[in-house]
Amino acid sequence: MTRNRINIEPLYLVFSFLGGLVLLFLVAPLAGMVLNSSGQELVQAGTDSEVQRSIWLTLWTSMAGTMLLAIAAVPFAYLLARKEFPLKTLVLAVVNLPIVIPHSAAGIALLGFISRDSLVGGAGEKAGIHFVGGAGGIMVAMAFVSLPFLITSARDGFAMVPERLEKAAMTLGASPARVFVTVSLPLAWRAVLSGLILMWARGLSEFGAVAVVAYHPIVTPVLIYERFGAFGLKYARPVAVIFLAICLIFFVAFRWVAAGVGAPAWLSRQRAEAGDIHAAR
């Protein structure tokens, strides 16, 4: 026995074992699904034009919905991080509402909101946007259930930016708009980007709300469900595997890009300073 042998605390051994179980629980079903699909099945599903159409539709609607909503949600997140206003707690609760309500119920609520005879739906109809049974409706449903992820992440990011930097910028003559664009947003950018990725990932995996609002044109999660219902597990599985692979590729790529944006060195220092400031107050 050597002197520098690490003493292993039995408790952490137990925790590690439990952690292993959790990981297995997460990975095993996915791995099983992948391993159970033959190459032939995958090729067949991959060349199926309905599958291709649905994957393309899912990807672009989720991205477009995220981008459109971000225009309003990111400034809103800044407001939530920086300003105090009456009923702020209530507003924060409302923002997180989509996380706790069943997504089929969210779909039902949205359907009433965007149907042809509603104010919004009618206006959209006149402008040539068909929400119900159209890409517009899919976007609305995806965005509704995934928006909290963007707002929460962006808000945390803005809260992390030392207020003194914004104040300093203003004393240097910068307008609040310029301060937001040149100081707050760049410094919170990683958190905002991470929020965008989360919102997009959550949106593209949405089934419940989308199925209610726009069953057709069919997005991949709905297609997987439909194939399972009509033809069984064997037919649904290859589609699921292909969709999973594509999502993973995009997700990893975006994460990788996000990690490269901004230098971690100043980020950690800035966080330490933010901590100091809070402590000083």
Partner 1 sequence: MLRVEHMSKRLGAFCLDDVSFTVHDGEYFVILGESGVGKTVVLELIAGLVAADDGDLYWDSENLRRRSIQQRRMGLVYQGQALFPHMTVRGNIAYGARGHGAEWAQKWAEEVGVGHLLERRPDTLSGGEAQRVALARTLASDPRCLLLDEPLAALDLHARAQLRGLLRQIHKSGRTIVHVTHDYEEAVSLATRIAVMNRGTIVQTGPPEEVFHRPASEFVARFVGIRNILRGRLASTGPYTPRFNADGLSISVVTDAAPGPGMIMLRSEDVTVSRAPIESSAQNVLPGVVIDVLRTPGGMEVLIDIGAELAAMVTPESVAQLDLAPGENVWVSFKATAVRFVGDEA
- Residue numbers at the binding site for partner 1 (CB under 8 A): 162, 164-165, 167-175, 182-183, 186-187, 262-263, 265-267, 269-270, 273, 276
- Between 67 and 160, whose beta carbon lies closer to partner 1? 160
State the minimum distance, in angstroms, from the CB of residue 192 to partner 1: 13
- Between 21 and 168, whose beta carbon lies closer to partner 1? 168
State the minimum distance, in angstroms, from the CB of residue 165 to partner 1: 5
State the minimum distance, in angstroms, from the CB of residue 161 to partner 1: 10
- Between 166 and 206, whose beta carbon lies closer to partner 1? 166
- Between 147 and 161, whose beta carbon lies closer to partner 1? 161
Are 204 and 247 spatial neighbours (Cβ–Cβ below 8 Å)?
A: yes
- Between 119 and 279, whose beta carbon lies closer to partner 1? 279
State the minimum distance, in angstroms, from the CB of residue 255 to partner 1: 20
State the minimum distance, in angstroms, from the CB of residue 156 to partner 1: 18
| Residues 6 or more apart in contact with residue 264 via CB below 8 angstroms | none
